[in-house]
Amino acid sequence: MKKTNVMLMTVATAFVLTGCLDGGTPDAGEKITYSKTSAEVYEQSCKKCHGASGEGVKEKKGPALNDRQAEEMELDLYDVKNGGLNQSSGTEHDVMEHNMKKLIEKGYDYDVKDMAKFLEKSFYKKPE
């Protein structure tokens, strides 16, 4: 049991270190299919708190998601989805982790890499 845990952590860490984040849980070989595209998920379930252009929504306390490029976004999305699993970045997203669990239960799951690319392509503003 202990050995398995150590193994899983090692695998998870390796994924993080190589930037090879597939967005799913690192459970052995389980292929996840997503019923919605990232664009659909964003439109239907993220927009109301993060803004039509990822600019953030003050009333909902949703932070902007248009200020990061895909690589960084990917890590933040991964954190939000996997809770404490990604300990390398040391971020706290308790509210969003809770939201994400609910959204996944409702079928708004997405591929982290694909969502990060979608956000960059659609909203990313280069610093002037």
**Smaller CB separation from ligand HEC, 8 or 124:** 124
Q: Which of 12, 16, 26, 76 binds ligand HEC (CB under 6 A)?
A: 76
Place of tokens 């991964």: 78
Q: How far is the CB of 44 from ligand HEC (least distance, A)?
A: 9
**Smaller CB separation from ligand HEC, 76 or 111:** 76
Asked if 21 is part of the footprint of ligand HEC (rule: CB under 6 A), the reply reads no
Strand-pairing partners, residue 57, are 62
**Smaller CB separation from ligand HEC, 94 or 105:** 94
Query: How many CB atoms are closer than 10 A to CB 31?
Result: 6
Summarize as ranges the residues that interact with ligand HEC (CB under 6 A). 41, 45-46, 48-50, 60-63, 65, 76-77, 80, 93-96, 99, 103, 108, 115
